[in-house]
Amino acid sequence: MSAIVLKNSLKLKKSFQAASRYKKEFLLYSFSVILIILIFDGFSFTSILLTCIVFLLSLFHFYFIGKKRSGDIALIKDVFSNITKHTYKNSSEITLNEGLTDIETEIKLMYDKIQADIEMLVKLERVRKEFLGNVSHELKTPIFAISGYIETLLDGAIKDEKVSGHFLKRAYEHTENLNSLVEDLIGISMIESGEMKLSKRYFNLKAFIEEIIYEFSDMASNKSITLSAGEIRKGLQVYGDKSRLKQVFTNLLQNALKYTNQGSVEILVEEEDNLVNIRIKDTGIGISEEDIPRIFERFYRVDKARSREVGGTGLGLAIVKHLLEAHESKVGVVSKLNEGSEFFFILKKSIF
Ligand SMILES: Nc1ncnc2c1ncn2[C@@H]1O[C@H](COP(=O)(O)OP(=O)(O)OP(=O)(O)O)[C@@H](O)[C@H]1O
Ligand SMILES: [Mg+2]
């Protein structure tokens, strides 16, 4: 019995404490009403009675306001502490009183935003770990091979001219791979950190593509693949960093030729308002549907064994993606296994 009385008196005390936060408002409110009564009615019995009633009513009024507010604040506090303790599985589990729907919506939005940020950070951390693992693996392979060749040479193979020539050539090839890997990595990190300064200007697309086709003609004819460009208007000028865009075309053409065994590789150009659609189309091995979303990731190769055979680290398309993003463009791909692939992107053109 005495415990119940104690509990209730504690509750009452708490509510009054909460209500006491509004004492200024309470005093201002009741005194202004009392003043109005006194002005209109003077110091009569009725006015004194009314004054007492007003005083008591406003006391109860503010007591209940205080009680309600402290209840609301306690509820909001509970929600925050539940968020900290990860009690909720999703934002729909967060509920407040009816009068607090605005705050509830805001807390839900904040909760969803925090969850999305955390997910992104976890993903970034995973990507970073994967990246470090891949880099070390890719560096280890050529270094291991080079040290193996040198060790064999030191063990005596150096005396055999034919064998030593072969080993030195292989070791040299691996140093070249190592060099291009490091250059690609530096390139990607420079684009990502915004350190890569682009020097954008208008240049002639036809001459640019003809030059690239010429550079790849040997590679194509060695594999008996027809390499050609479609119709390109003579005066067509596109806007961008010529040398970076050359890297884009080079990486895409290299892939098209690398992953095509027979048939053709074509560069197709289509003008549209102030844009140019560029497509690099091959009749190669194609890419399966499940691999397509991943090929632009750093180090992702569809067939690792085959990639090793034809060379490559899986950085080419990641570089293409980043470089085109730096040109406010986006690379896309359509592909069918054993039929071929088509990589496409847009560039801005001069309208004069
Ligand atoms: N035209 C294509 N046809 C078929 N598969 C392709 C084509 N282009 C890319 N791919 C697939 O996408 C993967 C990623 O390509 P990416 O250019 O990034 O790497 P890579 O060619 O293996 O190596 P790198 O370009 O760094 O020398 C390739 O390993 C290949 O499996
Ligand atoms: Mg490539």
Summarize the confidence of residues 121-130 as an average pLDDT: 87
How many structural domains does the chain have? 3
> How many A from CA of 300 to the centre of ligand 1?
8
Mean pLDDT score of the chain: 88
Q: Are residues 158 and 212 in the same domain?
A: no
Q: Are residues 252 and 306 in the same domain?
A: yes
> Does 322 lie in the same domain as 222?
yes
- Domain shared by 162 and 222, yes or no: no
Tokens of 131: 């990246």
Q: Is 194 or 277 the better-scoring residue by pLDDT?
A: 277
Q: Report how far residue 264's alpha carbon sits from residue 342's, in angstroms, rounded to the nearest whole number.
A: 12
DSSP 127-148: HHHHHHHHHHHHHHHHHHHHHH
Per-residue 3-state assignment (H helix, E strand, C coil) for 52-76: HHHHHHHHHHHHHHHHHHHHHHHHH
Please tell me the predicted confidence (pLDDT) of residue 306.
Answer: 60
Whether ligand 1 lies within 6 angstroms of the CB of 104 is answered as: no
Same domain, 285 and 208: yes
pLDDT tier at 123 (50, 70, 90 boundaries)?
confident
User: 82 in a domain, yes or no?
Assistant: yes
- Is residue 284 in contact with ligand 1, taking CB distance under 6 Å? yes
Average pLDDT rounded to a whole number, residues 309-320: 83
Ligand (nearest to CA of 322): 1
The two structure tokens encoding residue 150? 């040198």
- How far is residue 142's CA from residue 91's CA, in Å, rounded to a whole number? 50
pLDDT above 70 for 1:
no
Q: Is 179 found in the same domain as 303?
A: no
Q: In this structure, which residue's CA is closest to atom 29 in ligand 1?
A: 301
State whether 143 and 222 are in the same domain.
no
Average of pLDDT values for 147-164? 90
Query: Which ligand lies nearest to the CA atom of residue 292 in the structure?
Result: 1
Among 251, 301, 321, name the best residue to mutate to test ligand 1's pocket (greatest count of ligand atoms within 8 A of Cβ): 301
Q: Which residue has the higher pLDDT, 237 or 127?
A: 237
Question: Which of the residue ranges 144-153, 180-189, 237-246, 341-350 would you say has the lowest mean pLDDT?
Answer: 180-189
- Asked whether residue 211 is domain-assigned, the answer is yes
Looking at 154-158, 198-202, 319-323, 334-338, which range is the least confident one?
Answer: 154-158
Pocket test for ligand 1, best of 251, 295, 322 (most atoms within 8 A of CB): 295
Q: Please tell me the predicted confidence (pLDDT) of residue 324.
A: 95
Question: What does the alpha-carbon distance between residue 121 and residue 185 come to, in Å, rounded to a whole number?
Answer: 22
The answer to the question of residue 110 being in a domain is no
Same domain, 135 and 176: yes
Kindly give the distance from the C-alpha atom of residue 314 to the centroid of ligand 1, in angstroms, as a whole number.
6
Given pLDDT bands bounded at 50, 70 and 90, which one contains residue 12?
Answer: low
**Looking at residue 325, what is its pLDDT?**
93
CB-based contact 347:326 (threshold 8 Å): no
Q: Residue 190 Cα, ligand 2 centroid: separation in angstroms?
A: 19
Residue 120 near residue 113 (C-beta atoms within 8 A): no
Say yes or no: 163 and 239 in one domain: no
Provide the token pair at 235: 């005066």
Residue 130: pLDDT over 60: yes
Within a domain: 95: no
Distances (CA, A) of 274 to 20, 271, 279, 330: 68, 8, 17, 16
Domain range holding 168? 124-192
